[in-house]
Amino acid sequence: MFSDYLADFLDYMEIEKGRSLKTIENYSLYLNRFYEFAGDIKVGKIDLDMVSKWRKWLNRYKGEDGREVSQTTQNYHLIALRSFLKYMARRDIKTLAPEKIELATSKRPQVSFLTSDEVMALFDACDTSNIIGLRDRAILELLFSTGLRVSELVKLNIDSINLDKGEFSIRGKGQKDRPVYISESAKIAIDHYLKARRDNYEALFVQASKRKDEEDITISRLTARTIQRIVGRYRTKAGITKHVTPHTLRHSFATDLLGNGADLRSVQSLLGHADISTTQIYTHVTDPQLKEIHKKFHAK
């Protein structure tokens, strides 16, 4: 039965395949939705007709908050099911061949990025006369300097980075390591922030909180959600009308590199993309040759 193998599959993905706990959590969610749709069926009864009906079910599905499942997320559900079926094949359990499940063609996301002037306006919106402003300036500088994902940023400890060398290694999606390089301005911003710190907490970026009925101040690691709010606040202060998130700074990092002549493979490595097609979403907005062709040949 489906439920008999689900827990074993998730353990296999975590232990044998080395997937992150977040990936395991997502796979559990997606496959439990298949269980919700199909019931505790025999895995041998999973066929293309059932998968087709499940896709229709997902397309009409609404969560408790009323949100629908996007086409991209529907594909993640199918990827999870394909991985489960591959696991079944490894155990010589007869069921649907995973390669028969095709993913839906999804629209390529529109890339939103900041210009150099907008990036500087974002930085300059930080009041560096206090430790909060120093911290936030360091966060913004580091996001733009490295192209880190916000999930990677929040995991950093003080001893994770080497300011003298201006580089460190990060373990990103798929448990893959990649090199990360820090710009001079980001190094300076981080150094100023760390020198202003008066705590011994290991996390690179922290927040201090104090309850009304308590005297002690609690130091804790910043969360991804808090950093999202920080970026949004400085977007407003800088007068930037675009929607700006930590990922916008990652996009800006990539487009800045490509716009200044970096090759696609190098940018792929710096971003930690497993597939170069993911990196290619930036090329249509950064190709300097296209700009020169337009300038040379377009009628004035």
Catalytic residues, which ones? 149, 173, 247, 250, 273, 282
Q: Give the torsion sign (CA, 111, 181, 206, 133).
A: negative
Distance CA 103, CA 74 (A): 9
DSSP E strands, the chain: 167-171, 177-181, 206-209, 218-221
Residues with Cβ within 8 Å of 88's Cβ and at least 6 positions away in sequence, in order, are: 5, 43, 95
SS3 of residue 169 by DSSP: strand
What would the DSSP string read from start to end of 56-102? HHHHH-B-TTSPBPPHHHHHHHHHHHHHHHHHHHHTT-----GGG-P
Distance, CA of 55 to CA of 73 (rounded, Å): 11
Question: For residue 269, how many other CB atoms are within 10 A of its CB?
Answer: 13
Give the C-alpha distances (Å, rounded to integers) separating 25 from 15, 16, 63, 138, 170.
Answer: 14, 16, 17, 31, 22
79 in Cβ contact with 128 (< 8 Å): no
d(CA 180, CA 187): 13
